[in-house]
Chain A
């Protein structure tokens, strides 16, 4: 991760995430992918625009 980038964490172990796919659909760069209950996130493309953070209805995505 480049030093100027903040970290983005998707709590997708099931504690928070309800696998609704909202984050996948809103990401302008297509860097999140959901397959049933598995989320993959492409750290390198993500610009930390925080759109997915807003879209997540339950607050499972955090940018630190």
Chain B
């Protein structure tokens, strides 16, 4: 075992959260090694490829060739397919791009590489190294060869599969109601509208939704997320998605050219994402928005903070749990309140009946809302369907 390595910061996983963390740690002057178990960064894709755009500049990402198209808004369909449109005017910058996710992940890895990060593929972490109660590195396997990588700071950016957090003893396990099972087809020959990302709510996707994210004229990602607590049998994500497609001629006539699946956390923020020698970031830290299921933006926003704190810890020789509170506080200041609020909203929304959903969307569709505020939404519902106001109020 001649190969053992050492570095300042070891980032495990080269998804968006890992690449952002690695880049900002390197920019902070640390020696950074990022390892990725796959042979190709960004592939296979496990993503609907929709994301908002307002946060990109803040974390230093320049829009690139990975953008398929820019949408004008989102359309929310109730169970009886009443439509509520959210556009840039009243949602601020919440709407955004449909992207080529493998290209996006590679672009971030290239940024990291250009900032000085060493990147090694086909290198999987198989365990953590612990000394005197602190994490001081990871055991890895590279092209089948086992060796050790020592590091002052270890970053778990290993995505939803998240082994690192569990190995470190951090409480990352989730309740059934806080997880979604997802499946998506890329379909060609469909009648999608390139101006909108579409969401279908209600019993068509228990506890989740069906999404249509257009990639081009006639080409779209058609996917579903179903809440685990609402699943009774096998292959339900596929069963529900196939059923939805069959019921929609504009999509039933299309042809599938790709299929991706995966798990998504729809939980409230974790209580703890750091320990001595280690920080978690992105899906590994359960940072996905529990209402939308989107995790790219949050992973990148937290990744920048994580990388900066990692570099500081290296310079000051303080890779301790106490020092990493700076990261805990930093990412929470940006994300926690919204994550928590959206988790509460999700908890309530998935208890609403299809009939209530219909009324809510109908009420919203009627009033051309100027700005999507809790007050405006409630007023619209109260004016049209006073009988459901009480049930719906608790959602907001």
A residues neighboring B (CB under 8 Å)? 18-26, 28, 30, 33-36, 51, 53-59, 61-62
Known: A34-B161, A57-B261. A26 touches B236 (CB 8 A): no
CB distance from A52 to the nearest CB of B (A): 10
Is B166 positioned at the interface, with any CB of A under 8 Å from its CB?
yes
Residue B231 at the chain A interface, CB threshold 8 Å: yes
Chain B, Cβ-Cβ closest to A55: B181
Q: How far is the CA of A58 from the CA of B263 in the complex (A)?
A: 12
* A-contact bits for B297-324, CB 8 A (1 contact / 0 none): 0000000000000000000000000000
B37 near A36 with CB under 8 A, answer yes
Q: Can you list 30 A-B contacts (CB < 8 A)?
A: A18-B259, A18-B261, A20-B46, A20-B182, A20-B262, A20-B263, A21-B159, A21-B160, A21-B161, A21-B263, A24-B161, A25-B159, A25-B179, A25-B265, A26-B174, A26-B263, A34-B161, A35-B37, A36-B38, A51-B228, A53-B234, A54-B176, A54-B181, A54-B228, A54-B231, A54-B232, A55-B228, A57-B262, A58-B261, A59-B235
A51: B residues at CB distance < 8 A = 176, 228
Instruction: Say which residue of B39, B162, B260 sits within 8 Å of A25 (CB atoms).
Output: B162
Chain B window 151-190, contacts with chain A (Cβ cutoff 8 Å), 1 for yes, 0 for no = 0000000011111001000000110100101110000000
For B261, what are the chain A residues with a Cβ–Cβ distance below 8 Å? 18, 20, 22, 57-58
Do residues B181 and A56 form an inter-chain contact, with CB atoms below 8 A?
A: yes
**Residues of chain A with a CB closer than 8 A to B183's CB:** 57-58
Neighbouring A residues of B262 by C-beta, 8 Å: 20-22, 57
Identify the 4 closest CB pairs spanning chains A and B, nearest first. Answer: A59-B235, A20-B261, A57-B237, A22-B263
Minimum C-beta distance from B164 to chain A (A): 11
Residues of A within 8 A of B106 (CB): none
Alpha-carbon distance A58/B162, docked complex (angstroms):
21
Are B234's CB and A56's CB within 8 A? yes
Contacting residues, chain A, for B159 (C-beta < 8 A): 21, 25
Interface residues on B, range: 20 to 34
What residue of chain A has the Cβ atom nearest to residue B124's Cβ?
A35
Chain A residue at minimal CB-CB distance from B224: A57
Contact B234 A30 (CB under 8 A): no
B44 on the A face (CB < 8 A): yes
Taking a contact as CB atoms under 8 Å apart, the answer to whether A59 and B174 are in contact is: no
Beta-carbon contact of A58 and B235 below 8 Å: yes
Q: Is B101 an interface residue (CB 8 A)?
A: no
Asked whether any CB of chain A lies closer than 8 Å to the CB of B238, the reply is: yes
Chain B residues near A58: list those with CB within 8 A. Answer: 183, 235, 237-238, 261
Complex formed: what's the CA distance from A61 to B235 in Å?
Answer: 9
- Of chain B, the residue at the smallest CB distance from A54 is B231
Q: Which residues of the other chain, A, contact B235 by a CB distance below 8 angstroms?
A: 56-59
Whole-angstrom distance between the alpha carbons of A28 and B238 in the complex? 23
Closest residue on chain B to residue A34 by CB atoms: B161
Query: Which residues of B, 316-340, contact A by the 8 Å Cβ criterion?
Result: none
Residues of B contacting A35 in the complex (Cβ-Cβ under 8 angstroms): 37, 124
Tell me the bound Cα distance from A59 to B234 in angstroms: 5
